[in-house]
Chain A
């Protein structure tokens, strides 16, 4: 079985300050892990993915995430928030191989204060 817990439903940061969105996962299999972003009235967009290669994963728009197996975590970070980062962020787990679907967390809404 697989599941994801996003520890904060809402995070608020000031523009130019660091962003940290927390995610813990549970998986019976070797996991693939993803972060997706959803802007209002837009489709889900993949930010980054972990697929058993490097544990520090870099994504688009300056985001990165670190896979920590011992902590079963995959937190998303960005050094400096931009106004355009305001959106809903979903942490997602899947099986690394084989046919399967994505398991989404409940999402974290990021607000960026000017």
Chain B
């Protein structure tokens, strides 16, 4: 399978708990993006990496959110002290740097915070 994969696909947690999501991009893609999609809305950009460097972060990414891409391959997105407002679909995408930003999306991780 050469697509973008995300794990887990679904996560239910209680308010105040920490959660971590993983994204594996297409192997030759050096850019990796995280987006958040709430019900009835389009995806909103959170952050992106070029190789292992985190180059941009949205204001949506509060201090409780942290993302890493330690070896320039897979990435993790951690949310600390989850709140009900964090409930959303978290999408990962990857692209080549010189490909007019054509991004390939994974299936997403749906987070429900009770």
Closest to B98 in A: A97
Interface centre among A43, A92, A106 (most CB of B within 10 A): A43
- Indicate if B48 sits at the interface (CB-CB under 8 A): yes
A99-B50, A99-B56 as given contacts; A44 in contact with B100, CB under 8 Å = no
How many chain A residues sit at the interface, stated as a range, is 20 to 34
B51 to chain A, nearest CB (A): 12
The reply to whether A107 and B105 form a contact with Cβ atoms under 8 Å apart is no
Closest to B31 in A: A99
Interface centre among B43, B48, B97 (most CB of A within 10 A): B43
Contact pick for A94, options B42, B44, B101, B104, CB 8 Å: B101
List residues of A whose CB falls within 8 A of some B CB. Answer: 32, 34, 36, 42-46, 49, 51, 90, 92, 94-97, 99-107
